[in-house]
Every structure is written in structure tokens, then in C-alpha cells.
Structure 1
């Protein structure tokens, strides 16, 4: 607790967050505020009436960072299932207010690559990627989103375009690109491509699963089986049994 209560804590910033959350919830009772915080600051998502900060959810930043590191640095047949589960489940004491997302735009703003670009290439129409690699990449893209949305907390976030595997990064106009808007957009016409349409349909089915099965509103996931050798993860979320297999088992 000492690291949260010392001379380095910006007390004015804390008061601002408390005031912002209190005003927002008073003026707009249905508003949802999300703290983009990696410190698990005490009271972050507790009511301001108790002297806490008052956010509704906090984003688990480590999940998207883990996925990006795995995709860029580790072949999927070497992924550690137990590490994936521990990262996505997080601290059980704070999971009720935890929001997860698989991928965010910030990871690609500084010249990085989107998950889709890593897995299936930047331009499918011009790509020489084999059908086998394309199937493998799409399978991983789906599996990453499915386990992220179902195993963790009570909220899931998607950044626009990631639901259909937008292959190009987001880059705001800046001096390094001569203030170009060429990458500050989402190409919705990609949905006319079968691969992107399938990724989009899968995301829609995920949302329907939660809408009809109330996945996120149920209790925390009961981790049933995690095996790093066979690369199998299974868990229960309410009455729903979820089983995740490595994509290499399909190829």
C-alpha cells in the first residue's frame, strides 16, 4: 500500500478523477467510465461516496500486450497456455470490474502492425500467403478474441475495425507522415472480401452468444483444465463449457 500513499502520488489528479466520475454519474446515470490504468490503484472502481475514485471498470492492459508479444515473437505452437490464462484472468479480487480487449489501436499507432497484418498479411488481394497459412491465421484471430471475451472479467471492448480484421494500422496525421490521413481511417469495403466477412460474422456470433447466454454477466470463469503440452484450455462460465485448442491442431 505504501506505493499508493506517498509523496509521489498526484493528489490533485486523484481529486480530478473523483470529481469527474461524480459529475458524470450525476448528470448521466447510465454513463460508463473506464479507467485506463495498469496499477490496480486501491478504490479505483469503488463509489466516490466512500472516498474512492468511482470508475465503473478498469482496462486490463496486460492482455493486449501479451497477445501482441506472442504474435510477434513466439510461434503459436510454443505458446504457454498457463501464462495466457493467468494474464487474462488477472487478480481475482479485482476481476468483477475488469474490462478486457484483445487488441487496441495504440499498439499500431507508432508504426506497429495490427493482429490481422501479422496473421494474414496487409493486403489479401496482393498477398502470396498460402491457403493453409490463411486458415491458420484466421483461426488464431478468432481464438484470441473468443478466449479474451469469455474467460476474464465482466466487460469486453472492441476497437473499431478489429472485429473484421482490418489489416492496416491506424496512424494519425503527424510530421513523420507529412500529416497524411491515408491511415487515419477504416476500410469498410473489406467486408466484401470473404475472409474479412467471416471474421466479422464470427465477432457478431460472439456478441450474440453473450446477449443470449449472458456470458459476461455471470460469475467468474471456473478454470477446468490448462495443459501446456497438449495446448488445451477449458473453463466453465455459468453453464457454458468453453474449450480452446491451439490452431496447430487444426492444420
Structure 2
């Protein structure tokens, strides 16, 4: 899958060249890979045979949060799966984990704040209104 005739070698060489150039020309630059295949060596230096990115986006996390909020009550969250998803990374590979993805907005999904608090945000987010259990939970989890 990652090596052999099915790999777009020209694209990999382009990424290696681009990252090599950027890091030499602009030593403080940070490059971030957005990819979901798990391509090995994506965040290893070009000198080591990698593609030279500094970070990989941990793209499974946003989908997991939405899945948990949409389909499970708090008591039914599979904490071991949550921990596995958040820690499922290659050794020494830097990554950026995030809770919300622009991809979810593109397909018309709600934001995490709306999954947590929905319509109560319109009436119960003021200092002058009572704090409801839904708003209290939503704010606590959104932090």
C-alpha cells in the first residue's frame, strides 16, 4: 500500500523537495501534513528517507468526538477506544490533535458546541439566565 507500484512516486518526491526547500530557505517554517492513510515516514526528515513534514494532523480525533456526542450517552463512552484513538501514533512522530474539523462543516454537520448544548445556547448562555444542566455539561466538555 505505501511502497510499490501503486504509490505516486512523483508526488512523494515533490513533497520531499518542497519540505526540504522550505526548511532550508525558511528555518523557522512549520509544515503540517493532512492525511489519513498512515503513510510511514511522513514526518521524518528527508535525510532519513521521510517526506519531511514537521507534524501530522491527528484526523481520527474529530470524527470520534462527533460519533461519541451523536450516538452515545456519557455513560456509554468507550474510554479505552477514546484513549487508543488519541494515542495511536508512531513513536517520535509529532502530531496535532484537535476536536473539530472543517470537514464536518462541509458536510453540514453541527459544531461540537451545538452537539453539546443545541438550542439551549440561545436562551441560557447569559449571565442573567439560570445555568441549566445541559449548558453546564456542554461548557465543561467543550473546555
Give the TM-score of the pair, scaled to structure 1.
0.51
CA distance in 2, matches of 1:27, 1:95: 25
Query: Counterpart of 1:109?
Result: 106
CA pair 52-13 structure 1, distance change in 2 beyond 3 A: same
Counterpart pick for 1:85 among 69, 72, 83: 83
Query: Counterpart of 1:74?
Result: 72
Q: CA deviation digits over 1:33-62, x for unaligned, max 9?
A: 111122221211111123320000111111
1:95 to partner: Cα distance: 5.1
CA distance in 1, matches of 2:96, 2:41: 16
**SS at 1:22's partner residue?**
helix
1:5 to partner: Cα distance: 1.2
Say yes or no: does 1:34 pair with 2:32.
yes
Q: CA deviation digits over 1:195-233, x for unaligned, max 9?
A: xxxxxxxxxxxxxxxxxxxxxxxxxxxxxxxxxxxxxxx
> Given that residues 89 and 95 in structure 1 are in contact (C-alpha distance below 8 angstroms), is that contact kept between their aligned partners in structure 2?
no
1:83 to partner: Cα distance: 0.8
Query: How many pairs align?
Result: 138
Structure 2 residues not aligned, in runs of 5+: 125-130
In proportion to residue count, which structure has more strand?
1
Query: Counterpart of 1:100?
Result: 97
Hey, which bits of structure 1, 4+ residues long, moved more than 2 A? 93-96, 122-127
CA pair 122-109 structure 1, distance change in 2 beyond 3 A: farther
Give the TM-score of the pair, scaled to structure 2.
0.87
Query: Counterpart of 1:132?
Result: 133
| 1:142-181 matched pairs, under 5 angstroms | 142=143
Superposition RMSD on alpha carbons, in Å? 2.0
